[in-house]
Structure 1
Amino acid sequence: MASPVQSALPPGADPHAHTRLLQRVRAAALAGSTPPAAPRPVIGASWRRVLGAGLDPSDAPDVAPLDGAELERRRAESGLAPLLPLLRERLLPVARDAGQVLVVVDAACRVLWREGGPGVCRRADRLGFVEGSAWDEDTVGTNAIGTSLVVGAPLQVHAGEHYAEGHQPWTCAAAPLHHPVTGRLLGAVDLSGPAATVHPSTIALVDAVARLAELELRAAHTRSVERLRALAAPLLARLPGPALVVGADGCTAAATGLAAPDRVPLPDDVGPGPLLVPALGWCTAEPLPGGWLLRLDGTADAVRPAGVVLDLAGPRPQVRVTGPSGTWSAGLSLRHAEILLALAQAPSGRSAAGLAGDLFGDPRRTVTVRAEVSRLRRTLGAVVSAQPYRIDEDVHLEVRLPAPVARLLPASTAPLVERLRRGTPLPG
């Protein structure tokens, strides 16, 4: 399902009058009094997160921009450089005509590229909105770039909706960029400028271009898998046992002798030799150009992962699994993070109906729960057991929560998560 596009201007609203209203709303809300109108839910939630973290709206933390060498390293590792030609072609003319800047940030909200006309760039310089600067919520408060990455949805933030005092004269519209196959968060693309340049269609344009960029990534990935598949076909035909060929990202290109998953989570430091993959068991890894040959040795249940870390403290939920062959990590969808969190809160296990209540507030939605747990088990293998659903008793699970816990999975509406944000434990 596509994420909702969060525009800052209500339909038919006068931009100038709305800007003045937002200033009054912000002033009242941050002072703890009753505002003349309620802020948008996504903005109100962000203000509460930032206030809870103790960020001073008049004095943002002094985080130095990245130096030149570090900026270039992050650009090279971000996976975003191939998208720049498309982003520039579709958005830079709009930015220049509107008096705005085009900004691309990485998953840590560091500004990797910023382009626009000289006038607006000078204004951005005075704000500290420069290449290498940090633009996450913890550093500068509510803003389209940082907040869109927190909630995982395109977002426009206008004038008084910004938390920081110095951002009041600005308007911005940002959309997250994900790898369409692995789901990995790459960063975000944004158009920002003086508040007078606000337009309700800007966020729709930015979101559409972001989705187009992700389609380009998908096409490039498909071509890469096809090249690896052509290389793998004659190799697999000569092997006597089950094996599969995967890309460097773990996506399956070809397999023989088994029903292979679409993607195999690989250890962070994968190398030639024995390798334990939770969904497959023990394998022998052999390097190929652009990927790996994994030969299964038939001991899928002989050794189980020893430890699992469910990390919910960072900008995106991740799971890290430790076993005899090393450690691998993978990003989690919001739903899979919610499921693991529910199982962590219930060591004795949860039924499908119990999980449906945790996730949806409706114990009847067991079909959806079973499908999601099935997909999760294809990734984690023996980590998750069934009947009832639970973390395997031989696996040590550690859950890392954000501080404060009110920042837990901001995009989640699961009753389980809402209870935990309030500090209420999950019922048995």
Structure 2
Amino acid sequence: MAHSPTDVTQLAVVDAARAARVLSEVRAATLSGRRAPLAPRPVIEQSWSRMLRSGVDPDHDVRSGLLTREEVQRRREDTALRHVLPVLREGLLSVADVAHHIMVVADDDGRVLWREGNSSVLRKADNLGFELGADWRESVVGTNGVGTPAVVRRPVQVFASEHFQRSQTSWTCTGAPITDPRDGRLIGVVDVSGPLETMHPATLAWVDSVAKLAEARLRELHLTSLERLRAVAAPLLARLPDRALVVDRDGWTAAVSGMPYTHRIALPKSLSPGRRWLPPLGLCSVEPLAGGWLLRASEEQVPAATRIALDLTQPRRWSVTVSGGAGSWSHELSPRHAELLYLLALHRSGRSAAGLAEDVFGDAGRTVTVRAEMSRVRRYLGAFLEHRPYRFREDAEVEVLLPDDPRDLLPHSTAPAVARGRISADVP
């Protein structure tokens, strides 16, 4: 009897072994180029396609070495994930232990930094190389519950032979990305894993909800830190006669004086004190503060930007770099902003809000969402963008750096226009 992908997922709840056999047949047929008894789920099929293109071996588990204990500890101290561990433990561990699962937390490089839960399952995970410091990027170990959510930027459940590598097909994994609520940047992935017979469809919603609680906790911590910086900034700005603002280390505004309020200033990664050109302030004086920077705007004019480079070559780290007479600066892009800037580069004559909504969502009516996102883009690129319609400034040279294989363009994206770009040879 033929099964649909949904049928197999439901079957796994009552007969995991039978569901695993069906998926094993699907995997064997698909990877050998034969007609499969049913198509894999789209998220799995797309992941397998990426693995085949990149040369990951489905039958031989080859991976990079473990991080040292010292490097694991250093990464733990450097990542914002450490602030949300209590939320993850409270939401996942008690149930995971009873259900014969483990909780795994990996950083944005796919490295396992924490691993807790059922002791017998932890021992089984050792045999899979699911250890502290292990590298579980999709491009290294194939389709899995840590690496694949990091690529597609949404929760993914990988059951049995949906794993690309044969060594993992006795396992079930459910992972959800954890992103920085301030800018959408990937921080890491939380995953709940166990033997294939522990699979349950509800695990996906459960893990996703706890990941969202973790993001809410990060948002709360950020607002608290801005309040502390604001208390320091207010008396300082009151004494200054010129236009100025105080921002935290990531550019989020705590207080302003003599100028309109701007939520965030795009800061270069290696900002240092001195005279710097920063969008949208232009030339300004940068002075360090405890927990942030004092930025004092200058009235001096500088040459306009001459080049805007949109880098989409990396699978999870997209950026825009602006170069001109005042030097250059870069800004890391969220998944949505990477999509929008790619589309504006594709349409140099401009795109209306309705046009962008059609491109991104397949629904020209979703203009409110597009306008809100473009408003955020203009916070760091406002000097180089026009609107009505949205477009790059005419005098700017725009270059787009694309992946070698068009099919690897923004793999997280479900936007119809991006999907067309993956099968088209046309590039901006």
Partner of 2:25: 24
The one-character-per-residue Cα deviations of 1:63-101 (angstroms, maximum 9, x if unpaired) are 111122322222222221122223223322222222222
Tell me the distance in 1 between the aligned counterparts of 2:409 and 2:15.
34
The one-character-per-residue Cα deviations of 1:139-171 (angstroms, maximum 9, x if unpaired) are 111111111111111111110111110010000
Counterparts of 1:78-227 in structure 2, within 5 Å, are 78-227=79-228
Counterparts of 1:25-44 in structure 2, within 5 Å, are 25-44=26-45
Query: Does the Cα contact within 8 Å between 1:99 and 1:117 map onto a contact in 2?
Result: yes
Query: Does the Cα contact within 8 Å between 1:8 and 1:158 map onto a contact in 2?
Result: no
Tell me the distance in 1 between the aligned counterparts of 2:360 and 2:99.
43
The one-character-per-residue Cα deviations of 1:13-37 (angstroms, maximum 9, x if unpaired) are 5342322221221111112122222
Structure 2 regions of 5+ residues with no counterpart? 1-5
Distance change in 2, residues 1:374/1:119 (3 Å): closer
Partner of 2:310: 310
TM-score by length of 2: 0.90
Tell me the distance in 1 between the aligned counterparts of 2:144 and 2:78.
25
Partner of 1:297: 298
Distance change in 2, residues 1:15/1:322 (3 Å): farther
Partner of 1:243: 244
Counterparts of 1:352-371 in structure 2, within 5 Å, are 355-361=356-362, 369-371=370-372
Counterparts of 1:246-325 in structure 2, within 5 Å, are 246-299=247-300, 302-314=302-314, 315-322=316-323
Partner of 1:3: none
One-letter code of the match for 2:96? Answer: A
Query: Does the Cα contact within 8 Å between 1:53 and 1:404 map onto a contact in 2?
Result: no
Query: Does the Cα contact within 8 Å between 1:104 and 1:113 map onto a contact in 2?
Result: yes
Tell me the distance in 2 between the aligned counterparts of 1:254 and 1:86.
30
Distance change in 2, residues 1:38/1:349 (3 Å): same
Query: Does the Cα contact within 8 Å between 2:174 and 2:191 map onto a contact in 1?
Result: yes
Counterparts of 1:335-350 in structure 2, within 5 Å, are 335-350=336-351
One-letter code of the match for 1:209? Answer: V
Distance change in 2, residues 1:81/1:13 (3 Å): closer
Tell me the distance in 2 between the aligned counterparts of 1:184 and 1:7.
35
Shift in Å, 1:257: 1.6
One-letter code of the match for 1:271? Answer: S
Tell me the distance in 2 between the aligned counterparts of 1:391 and 1:251.
24
Shift in Å, 1:11: 8.3
Shift in Å, 1:337: 1.4
Overall identity of the aligned pairs, in %: 50
Tell me the distance in 1 between the aligned counterparts of 2:80 and 2:194.
26
Tell me the distance in 1 between the aligned counterparts of 2:251 and 2:84.
22
Query: RMSD across aligned C-alpha pairs, in angstroms?
Result: 2.6
One-letter code of the match for 1:144? Answer: G
Distance change in 2, residues 1:217/1:375 (3 Å): closer
Query: Does the Cα contact within 8 Å between 1:183 and 1:331 map onto a contact in 2?
Result: no
Shift in Å, 1:317: 2.5
Partner of 1:66: 67
One-letter code of the match for 2:302? Answer: A
Tell me the distance in 2 between the aligned counterparts of 1:13 and 1:95.
16
Tell me the distance in 1 between the aligned counterparts of 2:348 and 2:203.
47
Query: Does the Cα contact within 8 Å between 1:174 and 1:203 map onto a contact in 2?
Result: yes
Tell me the distance in 1 between the aligned counterparts of 2:343 and 2:203.
38
Partner of 2:49: 48
Structure 1 residue matching 2:309: 3-state secondary structure? strand
The one-character-per-residue Cα deviations of 1:227-247 (angstroms, maximum 9, x if unpaired) are 111111111111112211111
Distance change in 2, residues 1:360/1:120 (3 Å): closer
Query: Does the Cα contact within 8 Å between 1:8 and 1:157 map onto a contact in 2?
Result: no
TM-score by length of 1: 0.90
Partner of 1:382: 383
Tell me the distance in 2 between the aligned counterparts of 1:342 and 1:215.
30
Tell me the distance in 1 between the aligned counterparts of 2:364 and 2:219.
36
Partner of 2:3: none
Tell me the distance in 2 between the aligned counterparts of 1:271 and 1:325.
15
Tell me the distance in 2 between the aligned counterparts of 1:45 and 1:86.
32
Query: Does the Cα contact within 8 Å between 1:58 and 1:166 map onto a contact in 2?
Result: yes
Shift in Å, 1:136: 1.1
One-letter code of the match for 1:302? Answer: V
Moved more, 309-318 or 7-16: 7-16
Structure 2 residue matching 1:9: 3-state secondary structure? helix
The one-character-per-residue Cα deviations of 1:34-55 (angstroms, maximum 9, x if unpaired) are 2222211111111111112121
Query: Does the Cα contact within 8 Å between 1:7 and 1:203 map onto a contact in 2?
Result: no
Tell me the distance in 1 between the aligned counterparts of 2:7 and 2:396.
45
Distance change in 2, residues 1:375/1:238 (3 Å): same
Tell me the distance in 2 between the aligned counterparts of 1:140 and 1:15.
27
Query: Does the Cα contact within 8 Å between 1:278 and 1:305 map onto a contact in 2?
Result: no
Query: Does the Cα contact within 8 Å between 2:12 and 2:200 map onto a contact in 1?
Result: no
Shift in Å, 1:342: 2.2
Shift in Å, 1:369: 4.5
Shift in Å, 1:114: 1.3
Query: Does the Cα contact within 8 Å between 2:302 and 2:326 map onto a contact in 1?
Result: no
One-letter code of the match for 2:45? Answer: G
Distance change in 2, residues 1:99/1:324 (3 Å): farther
One-letter code of the match for 1:278? Answer: P
Aligned length: 421
Moved more, 385-394 or 171-180: 385-394
Shift in Å, 1:121: 1.9
Distance change in 2, residues 1:205/1:267 (3 Å): same
